[in-house]
Amino acid sequence: MNAFVYAQSINMSEEKFQVRGEICHWDYNKKAAVVLTFDDWTPGQYPLVVPTLKQFKMVATFFPLTSNIEKTDIGWKAAQATAKNGNELGNHTLTHPDITKLTDETLEKEVMEPVSQIEKIVPNNAVISFAYPYGAGADDQHSIEFLRSKGFVGARSVWGMSDYSYNFAKEDEDYYKIHCYGMNESTKNSQFNAEVESVIKGGGLLTFLYHSVDDDLNSYHDSWYAQVKLDSLKEQLRFLKKHQDEVWVTTFGNAILYHREANCAKLRVQERDGFIEAKLTITNLEFRDLVPQTLMVPLTIKIYTDKKWSSVEQNGMSIPIDKQTDTYVQFRAIPNGGEIVLKQN
């Protein structure tokens, strides 16, 4: 029998004999996702944070006020350079209003003007993430519906109780109510570390929120608010680096996209003589309407097999094998990206 077997994030101990494939919870089968977000485009973010992230080979999400980008001498060139390093530029409105208090016309301008500015000047950066100024809107149905109708895949609120379990988004709208851990001058590195350790245990998503990053003694003074010293930020990145086998440090948009895709993708696997065929498809039509195919991020999948495979292709293109053991082969594939074929020779 070559019956297709459906599998999605299945508990292996219970379904040991039926499972042929599994969609991993996070990229490269890491245990948890951590996102660093930097709000408002405070003066230290470009000169200090961007090169530091590059030095640590990490990426983050910046939620600039586009009006603040335009106030600096370097202007949009800094935004372009930030995105070029793999960081995400999200949307935090034009001038930081409470979006629940705006007329429809002003809401449209405050949210959509930054989208067209960013996408025009930084064309490879799709604006799909939103951060509510003051956190206002995360509990407002009208704001959430507005963001969804404009193609945002998720939105970040402010400091609040976070659910670090993998099942943090029980409803679609929960993706538009993501809480974060706020960093400021009094945050100790031990607190940062404890949050990271908690999310590793929980298996979910941890989002940090930073504002000013300051290095007044050595290089650049960012006096705005909630100052985190550059040396502290570096310690925090070092801690993440130490846990890089367990933690996927990524952008807000990538983490949300991965989680949303994995939650509605189906993996079907069929083994024949000498090869395996697999299909990774998104069956949720609302999600298909929200996210264009070009924005889909790859999902890490495991196929349980005791045979050795020499190549994996998707849609005729070779894709790298991340890991191969006596019991499974692991690689990344794009949902709805065409048929996956594993070959032995």
Residue 39 or residue 195: which is nearer to Zn ion going by CB?
Answer: 39
Token pair 């995105």 in the structure block, residue: 83
In the chain, the largest separation of any two C-alpha atoms, in whole Å, equals 70
Residue 42 or residue 314: which is nearer to Zn ion going by CB?
Answer: 42
Residue 21 or residue 135: which is nearer to Zn ion going by CB?
Answer: 135
Q: Under 8 Å CB-to-CB from 74, ≥6 apart: which residues?
A: 46
Instruction: State the number of binding residues for Zn ion (CB under 5 A).
Output: 2
Query: What's the rounded Cα separation, in Å, for the pair 29 and 238?
Result: 21
110 contributes a contact to Zn ion by CB under 5 A? no
27 contributes a contact to Zn ion by CB under 5 A? no
Residue 30 or residue 156: which is nearer to Zn ion going by CB?
Answer: 156
Residue 93 or residue 263: which is nearer to Zn ion going by CB?
Answer: 93
40 contributes a contact to Zn ion by CB under 5 A? yes
Binding range to Zn ion, per CB under 5 A, among 32-40, 43-51, 101-109, 290-298: 32-40
Q: How far is the CB of 312 from Zn ion (least distance, A)?
A: 43
Binding range to Zn ion, per CB under 5 A, among 37-45, 106-114, 250-258, 296-304: 37-45
Q: How far is the CB of 72 from Zn ion (least distance, A)?
A: 17
Q: How far is the CB of 227 from Zn ion (least distance, A)?
A: 15
Residues counted in the chain: 345
The residue within the footprint of Zn ion, chosen from 33, 34, 35, 39 (CB under 5 A), is 39
Residue 45 or residue 232: which is nearer to Zn ion going by CB?
Answer: 45
- Given the rule CB under 5 A, which residues bind Zn ion? 39-40
